[in-house]
Amino acid sequence: MIKILMIGPNTKSRGGIATVFSVYEKKPEIDSIYTYTDGSKCKKFFYYIKSILVFFYKISISNYSHIHVHSASRSSFYRKAMFLFLGKILRKKVVFHLHGGEFDKFYLNESKYLKKLFIKFTLSSCDHILVISSHWKKTLKRIFPNMNIYLLHNPISNIYINTYIDNIQSNNNIIFIGRLDKNKGIEKIVSIFNNVIKNGLSKCRLYFIGEGDRKTILDLAIKLNIQDKIVFTGWLEEYEKIETIKNSFVMIFPSRFETFGMSILEVSAIGIPVVATNVGGIPDIIKDNCNGFLYNENNIDGMTKKIIELYENKKLLANVSEKSKLMSKKFLFDLIFSQYIQILHGGKK
């Protein structure tokens, strides 16, 4: 019988890993430990120490078959490595689940010889290494060709699949969901939105759902005189986020790199078309000219024209919306969890 101790960030924290973890931990086969929470450095440190104590307590009272660690790169990797080693010492099956982008850069460029040895030894000790996109499976296989690497897409909560839009053709809002930083292409988002406004779509508003570098966005918006058309919501509770998504007609996501893109999946599941960059794990969710549109990250003109076309061509908008919802169903949690259990039982890579 499979019984899993799953380790990752507090599910009330912000970010894709916490979102995915919150879906998994609802299963009765899974028990959870949180190693990270939002807050000060002092709070994070004591939270981590607490997680180690909780780990030993839970191990002492339950017979787990697997220790499953959700991790990104850099400090996240080093925090989680100890749990992987403890799992092996305790003769448990160990699963390393990689979510964070730039793991190749972290290993190849940022880590010196001894750190490389530590990272490689840690990963080679794992029974299963899970990655969340085809891009990252190829990347890790190139770096670690002899390791047991499996593709397991992130699941979507049923609440998004079960949410429907009343009339997408009447919506005027453009949205972005994620951290507000340059790696997410925030300056490109403002430039594209400015082009959209200048092409006659004056009713449109741009909603940023997330926190981060508001100043860069505002400075550029003021320079372009469109600041009154931009709304910062901050991070929203799930029901508020869903309502904001329902009132939009397109999501723009010109990220420079993306491990998977949970917010893209959430938006698509509700039926909102996505205009995004063709990077990382995004093509696993968005099929170009089907349930969304993919571009080179510098193709601002192409992304602008597509947003305008979606706004003006209501038939195209409705068609892409329908396909977005339909194609998202392959990420339903029950399907992904079934694939996960097959992997733990030795399923194909």
pLDDT higher than threshold 70 for residue 349: no
Give the end-to-end CA distance of the chain in Å, rounded to a whole number: 22
Residue 235 has pLDDT above 70, yes or no: yes
Residue type, 44: K
- Identify the residue with better confidence: 327 or 38: 327
CATH class of the 4-155+332-344 domain in this structure = alpha beta
Pick from 95-104, 134-143, 274-283: least confident: 95-104
pLDDT over 80 (residue 71): yes
Edge-to-edge strand list for the sheet holding 128-131: 30-36, 4-9, 66-71, 93-98, 128-131, 149-151
- Domain 158-330, classified CATH 1.50.10.20, yes or no: no
Q: What is the mean pLDDT of residues 312-330?
A: 97
Q: Which residue has the tokens 């997330």?
A: 210
pLDDT for 264-274, tens place per residue? 999 999 999 99
For the stretch 122-166, pLDDT in tens is 999 999 999 999 999 999 999 999 999 999 999 999 999 999 998
Domain ranges in the chain with CATH number 3.40.50.2000: 4-155+332-344, 158-330
Distance CA(300)–CA(306), nearest Å, equals 10
User: Token digits for 280?
Assistant: 């990382």
What is the pTM assigned to this prediction? 0.93
- Coil, helix or strand at residue 205: strand
Q: What Cα–Cα distance (Å) separates residue 239 from each residue in 12, 134, 138, 171, 331?
A: 14, 31, 36, 18, 20
Average pLDDT over residues 92-110: 93
